[in-house]
Amino acid sequence: MKVEILKENLKSGLSVVEKIVGKNLSLPILDNVLLNTEDNFLSLSATDLETAIKIWILTKIIKKGKVVVPAKFLSSFVSLLPNEKILLEEKKQGLSVECKNFRNQIQGFNPEEFPLIPEFKNLEYLEVDNRKFCQGLAQIADIASPSQSRPEISGIYFIFTKNLVKIVATDSFRLAEKNITLEEPVKKDITFILPQKPAREIINTLGEKEGKIKIYFSSNQTMFEFPMKEAAHPQVQITSRLIEGEYPNYEEIIPKKFKTHVIVKRDEFLNQIKAASLFSGKINEIKIKVNPQNKEIEISAQDPDIGESQSIVSAKIEGEVIEASFNHKFLIDGLLNIKSSEVIFDLSKEEGPCVLKPVGDASYIYVVMPIKST
């Protein structure tokens, strides 16, 4: 392999693939990036065996070939090089890097030992606006359960139905659903459960790109592909295994009727919950009292070692007086996932599920369970 590449292009490519690379003591090959020539592109690939990222960079290819070198090391090193052309060359099972006054040789691995990344050629895909997809996924991905005791809810559930993709996550204390319109309706419903890590990689890597994202899937794998304009290769592919198992029938949990309907300013409500959270003690409990008479929400918390907190926020309130206790973390997470200046807060009864929604956007819903009074 021998290629000439601009420092900035190599640096930005490495900064994408290095994110998936950890410090893998039992399988050190996974700490590496595979550099490969494909037509007039240099591809960079990294994998943790569950998620893989591959990107393509337009490059002057002088000689074809493959090299495998430590990903984070190469990335740190390249970022110190001057903003010039870099000559990368395979030498002594490693990579020679030449740039202006720099001559470097990086020890590598045998490219044959690098794990194969599954390909999805000639298969069907679905298409959706990339920024809407990534923004929606970002409102959902962190809700998934961190515990592995129920693997199916440790991932993010995707339902492709009619002209929609529904993205869902829950940890059994709260649940969020986002609906995004597909470019074309699906012929039959498709569902799968994506692990949390590739979901985060999609958000981080593709979040800002304008265009359409292609979603490929098989029975146990999925691939998210962002295309490159008028090129033989895509810009980025993120491939992941899927989580086996059946996702719970989550729609049952979303309440349809409410006792009390509230519209409140998001920032003020969020700030008061944060302030109360400091006084909430070990079980994170804060009390919320919704009063339609004086149109006020009272937020309070107390702990004998810390003190007491009480604050009041004005709101539009319809329905009955309700008082319920919440884990402040779950309310804060929900409000942080909503970007509108006002939020809808619907309460059913003291111990029933409540709902947070943005005002003026029916595509997102966040369901949270109160803490049961003892």
Tell me which residues touch a second copy (CB under 8 A): 73, 76-77, 80-82, 94, 101-107, 271-272, 274-275, 278-279, 304-313
Cβ closest to a second copy, residue 111 vs residue 155:
111
Cβ closest to a second copy, residue 162 vs residue 295:
295
| Residues in Cβ contact with 296 at an 8 Å cutoff, skipping those fewer than 6 apart | 312, 313, 314, 315, 317
* Alpha-carbon dihedral sign for residues 269, 270, 271, 276: positive
Residue 91 C-beta: closest distance to a second copy, Å: 10
What number of other Cβ atoms are within 10 A of residue 329's Cβ? Answer: 15
Cβ closest to a second copy, residue 30 vs residue 144:
30
Which residues on neighbouring strands pair with residue 193, listed in sequence order? 157
Locate the DSSP E strands across 93-234: 94-99, 102-107, 125-129, 155-161, 164-170, 174-181, 190-195, 212-217, 221-226
Is residue 330 a contact partner of residue 317, using CB atoms and an 8 Å limit? Answer: no
Is residue 127 a contact partner of residue 214, using CB atoms and an 8 Å limit? Answer: yes
Residue 112 C-beta: closest distance to a second copy, Å: 20
Query: Which among 331, 325, 346, 369 has a CA at the least distance from the CA of 259?
Result: 346
Cβ closest to a second copy, residue 254 vs residue 306:
306
Residue 133 C-beta: closest distance to a second copy, Å: 34
Residue 49 C-beta: closest distance to a second copy, Å: 24
Residue 31 C-beta: closest distance to a second copy, Å: 13
Cβ closest to a second copy, residue 49 vs residue 80:
80
Cβ closest to a second copy, residue 72 vs residue 197:
72
Kind plus residue range of the DSSP H or E element containing 337: none
CA distances from residue 373 to 25, 59, 87, 215, 352 in whole angstroms, order as listed: 47, 63, 67, 44, 12
Residue 185 C-beta: closest distance to a second copy, Å: 46
CA distances from residue 295 to 292, 302, 343, 354 in whole angstroms, order as listed: 5, 23, 15, 19
Residue 290 C-beta: closest distance to a second copy, Å: 15
Cβ closest to a second copy, residue 62 vs residue 312:
312
